[in-house]
Amino acid sequence: MKISGSNRLNNLGSAIFTELAEWKEQVIKSGIDVIDLGIGSPDLPPSAKVIRKLHEAIDNPNDYGYPMSEGSLEFREAVAKWYHYRFNVVLDAKSEILTLMGSQDGLAHLAMAICNPGDIVLVPDPGYPIYSASLELAGVKPYLVPLREENDFLPQLEKIPDSILKQAKFMILNYPSNPLAAVTDLVFFEKWVNWSKKHEILAVHDLAYSEMAFDGFKPPSVLEVKGAKEIAVEFHSMSKAFNMAGCRIGYLVGHADVVSALKMIKSNIDYGVFIPIQKAAITALEEDMNHNQSVSLVYEKRRNRMIEGLSDIGWHIKKPRASMFIWAKIPHGWTSRQFSREMLFSQGLVVIPGDAFGNQGEGYVRLALVHDEKVLIEAVERMGRFFENHVL
C-alpha cells in the first residue's frame, strides 16, 4: 500500500531547499570539492567548561528521568538572570519563561497555541521559512509584509491595510535578521510595541542572533521597551550564541499568557529537554555573565575577510552589523536561483538563493560565515573565478 503525504506537505518550507540539496549531491558525485555556505550551523564547539558540565551530567544516573516540559526551574532562573544581565529586563522564571527544544520548536508551535484556523498572522518577506510553515500546520493565513533594502529592511507598518490589522493575531519579526543580516534599534521597537498595543496584535520577536553583532553594536531586546511584556514575547536560543546548535535548547520569554498557552501545547507533545543539556546551558549562561564569552569577534573577523575579499573581485556589499550571514545583491541579468545553481555547478560553492526566503528575496543570495577564514578565502577565490568566466 502506498501512502501519500498530506496536502499541507506541499506548502511546507521551500522547494528550493530540496532542489539545492539535489544539486549539491550531483556536484559531489561528479568529484567536485564543495564548500557549503548554505546552512547557518555554527562550525565551532561550545566552551570547554560547557562540554565538561555535559559530561558530568551525563554520568549522573539521576538525570535520565522525564524532564519537565516547561524546563527545570534552575534553567529558567538562569535565563532570567542572563536577560537581566544582558538587557536589564526583569522576568519571572515561573510564569514568563518557557524552555524549548531550540527556538524553532517554539516558532513551529506558537500559532497552534494562540491562533484559530482562519486567523491571520503578519510574517516578514523575506523571512525564516518556519515562520510561514508553522502557519500552514495551524491552518492560519499568512499576510506577507515586504522588507526592502530602501527601507533598511524594516516593515512599513503604516502600509498594512486596516482590513488585515482587524484580523491579525500576531506579527513576527527578527532582528538581527536571518536571512537579511539587518538590525534595528530601540526606537523602532518602541514604535512596534506602541503600534501593536493600538491594534491589539501580539508582537513576536525572534532574537536568536543577539550575541553575533559587530563593531561595538549591541542588539536590543524588544522587552527593553517599557510595557512591552503586555503585548510582546521573544524567542531566544543557545544555538548561535553558545555554539550549542545540536543540543536543541532555546526558550520563550515575555507575556505570561502566551508562555502559558505554548506550555500547554508543549506538554501534549513532548517531555522537555534532556536534563544534562539544561545543566550545560546553565553553565554557558553563567560563564557568559562571568567572563563575557561572546562569539561575535570570531564572526566579525570572518565578515571582514569575506567582505574585503568580495570587494577585491568587484562584488561590493555593505558590511552587515550582525548575524552569521551576508545578504548579497547579485548582478543584473541573473535570477537568484540561476546564480546559485551556476555557482554550485561551476565552482562547487553552495549559496542560498534569496527567493528561498520569499518573493522579496529575488535578486539576492545568502552566504553563511560557517567556516574558518582560510576556507572563506578559498570561497572568495572561487567566486572570483566565477565572475571571470561569466559575462555579467
The CATH number given to whatever domain includes residue 366 is: 3.90.1150.10
Residues listed for the chain? 392
- Domain assignment present for residue 1? The answer is no
Residue 336, C-alpha cell as written in the block: 537568484
Domain end marker among 267, 291, 315: 291
Quote the CA–CA distance of 362 and 385 in Å, as a whole number: 23
- Predicted pLDDT at 292: 74
Domain end marker among 235, 256, 291: 291
3-state secondary structure of 199: helix
Quote the CA–CA distance of 135 and 141 in Å, as a whole number: 6
Are residues 348 and 364 located together in one domain of the fold? Answer: yes
Are residues 55 and 31 located together in one domain of the fold? Answer: no
- Domain assignment present for residue 211? The answer is yes
Are residues 325 and 359 located together in one domain of the fold? Answer: yes
Quote the CA–CA distance of 328 and 366 in Å, as a whole number: 6
Strands of 250-254's sheet in order across: 97-100, 250-254, 232-237, 202-206, 168-173, 120-125, 141-146
Quote the CA–CA distance of 200 and 88 in Å, as a whole number: 25
Beta bridge partners of 253: 97, 234
- Predicted pLDDT at 86: 97
Would residue 273 be called left, alpha or beta, if left means φ above 0 and alpha means ψ between -120 and 50 degrees?
beta
Spatial CA neighbour of 77 closest among 261, 289, 221, 291: 289
Question: Cell 531550540, residue?
Answer: 102
Q: What pTM was computed for the model?
A: 0.96
Are residues 80 and 207 located together in one domain of the fold? Answer: yes
Are residues 153 and 272 located together in one domain of the fold? Answer: yes
Domain coverage including residue 58: 48-291
Q: Which helix (H) or strand (E) holds 288?
A: helix 275-291
The CATH number given to whatever domain includes residue 116 is: 3.40.640.10
- Predicted pLDDT at 13: 67
Are residues 242 and 101 located together in one domain of the fold? Answer: yes
Which whole-number Å values give the CA distances from 123 to 9, 156, 215, 350, 357, in the listed order? 19, 12, 29, 27, 11
358-364-365 Cα angle (round to 5) = 95
Are residues 325 and 374 located together in one domain of the fold? Answer: yes
- Predicted pLDDT at 391: 55
Question: Cell 557568559, residue?
Answer: 288
- Domain assignment present for residue 222? The answer is yes
Residue 11, C-alpha cell as written in the block: 506548502
Asked if residue 199 lies in contact with residue 193, where contact means CB atoms within 8 angstroms, the answer is no
Strand ranges for 238-363 from DSSP E? 250-254, 325-329, 349-350, 352-353
Are residues 34 and 65 located together in one domain of the fold? Answer: no
Quote the CA–CA distance of 173 and 128 in Å, as a whole number: 10
Q: How many domains does the chain have?
A: 2
Domain end marker among 269, 291, 313: 291
Residue 368, C-alpha cell as written in the block: 553563511
Q: Which helix (H) or strand (E) holds 117?
A: none
Rg (CA), the chain: 21
- Burial level of 109, CB count in 10 A (0-12/13-18/19+)? buried
Strands of 325-329's sheet in order across: 325-329, 364-368, 352-353
| DSSP 8-state symbol, 390 | S
* pLDDT tens digits in sequence order for the chain, 392 residues long: 888 888 888 777 667 788 888 999 999 999 999 999 998 899 999 999 999 999 999 999 999 999 988 999 999 999 999 999 999 999 999 999 999 999 999 999 999 999 999 999 999 999 999 999 999 999 999 999 999 999 999 999 999 999 999 999 999 999 999 999 999 999 999 999 999 999 999 999 999 999 999 999 999 999 999 999 999 999 999 999 999 999 999 999 999 999 999 999 999 999 999 999 999 999 999 999 998 778 999 999 999 999 999 999 999 999 999 999 999 999 999 999 999 999 999 999 999 999 999 999 999 999 999 999 999 999 999 999 999 988 55
